[in-house]
Amino acid sequence: MKKKILVIAGIIGSLLFFYFVFNGYDSLAETFQIFPVLFILTQAVSFFKKEVFDSWSIFAYIYIPASIFLVALSPAYGSPFLKVEKDSVALLLDGLFVIVSFIIGWICISRDRREGE
């Protein structure tokens, strides 16, 4: 059930992202930028054991809404001194999502290997 929810959220979010990109709604596109990443990672993690997917999905359920909230709150244009803009916040949060997802997968896989020995 969790896999279906994440896949559907990834597909719908990705479609919204591409719709906003191709119709010139750049600030909305930056808000939905994480969904193509979510869709790709959901497909990749779904091949792992159920425990790995469950650990990652708990992280994703918390991280995705928080990421959307932070990107939505960030300014469209930063000041000359502080370059905090929607696109830089979205890219930073997307990269952090990918890195933490790999760390979760690595921890779960290495824990399974230690238990198997």
Choose among 14, 63, 65, 61: nearest CA to 36. 14
pLDDT tens profile 73-98: 877 776 666 677 777 787 888 888 88
Mean pLDDT in the chain?
76
Domain-wise residue ranges, the chain: 2-116
Choose among 52, 33, 39, 34: nearest CA to 8. 39
Structure tokens at 10: 């990834």
pLDDT tens profile 26-70: 666 677 777 777 777 777 777 777 777 788 888 888 888 888 888
Statement: residue 24 has pLDDT above 80: no
Q: Is the pTM of this model over 0.75?
A: no
Give the N- to C-terminal CA distance of the chain in Å, as an integer.
32
Q: Which residues contact 87 (CB under 8 A, 6 or more apart)?
A: 30
